[in-house]
Structure 1
Amino acid sequence: MKRIEIEKLDRNLISLIHNDWAVLTVPDEGKVNGMTVNWVQMGWLWNKAVVTVYVRPQRHTYPLIERENCFSLAFFDNDQREKLAYLGKASGKDVDKLAHVGYTTTLLDGAPCIDQARLVLVLKKLATMEISDAEFIDKTVENASYPNRDYHKAYTCEILAAYLNEA
């Protein structure tokens, strides 16, 4: 992987998030846990390049991301959809999901990163926000996204480094 400046990324961010999907990668007691995420925001906040990811408390990844300050977000080519779907459905408490789909990891800047990813962002947690009923102005969004009221927690993270896989 080649380290790049995030400002030089020549990909459409909406397409990157919505179409290419992403995997949140966090240390997990001697192994690495990966969870597919599709609710992601990228931008500029607090004079930093940031990413906000959303994780529900019932996910195995939740206590891991609560504990860790550094982790990564990996983006893949479309031919990886089947593997990414598995990473979003299976629980990391029951199986080593990354090994199951044939992914390997490398530690980059203190965070586990998936070697097979097209783009990896190394992240440092800056702030969290509990989403609740009180935050919704448009209740149709809340009702469509949270019919069971199982709200996500938002993690706003600084992008410490970006790596592009040129293989």
Structure 2
Amino acid sequence: MAENTVQYGWDASMGIRLYDKIRQDMKTSMLKKDTAVRDTMRLIMGAFPEITVPITLESGKKSTRAKTPEEITDEDIQNIIRKFIKSEKTVLEIKKETSSAYLELLESYLPKMATAEEIEAWVKNNVDFSAVKSPVQAMGAVMKHFGKLADGNQVKAILQGMTPEK
């Protein structure tokens, strides 16, 4: 399947919504009889009804309804994919494996994560270690800057490895 993953995946620079790209890849995978990709796309699309928007009923009662395809944002779908990635990583950990074709396919639909070098460079340029007791206290600022593009455990490890300059 590794040779097929080049055509699958998504990037914001493609100029297409993630929702539309997943539907497009679903059709492509069905035509090519690529069952692994087809099943993954079905899994993601099957979670779309979980994306809801809060509403207030006429009685004043609070409720939710599923978002329409036009209302679903790239961020909504990325959160679903992150949830699947998290569960796959747990399974791989139990199996004592590091990666799978399924995991790589899911990751191809998320924005590229910040590298350790990018995080470290940003920390050196923007964090004043004299204002904090321990480097890990700067974690909030780092995570606020990188958001979901940085893994919290990776940031923590980088910060713990940095000694405050005194």
TM-score category, normalised to shorter length: under 0.3
Give the number of the structure whose residues are more often helix, by fraction: 2
Q: Which has the higher strand share?
A: 1
Larger radius of gyration: 2
TM-score, scaled relative to structure 1: 0.26
The structure, 1 or 2, with the larger RCO (C-alpha pairs under 8 Å, 6+ apart) is 1
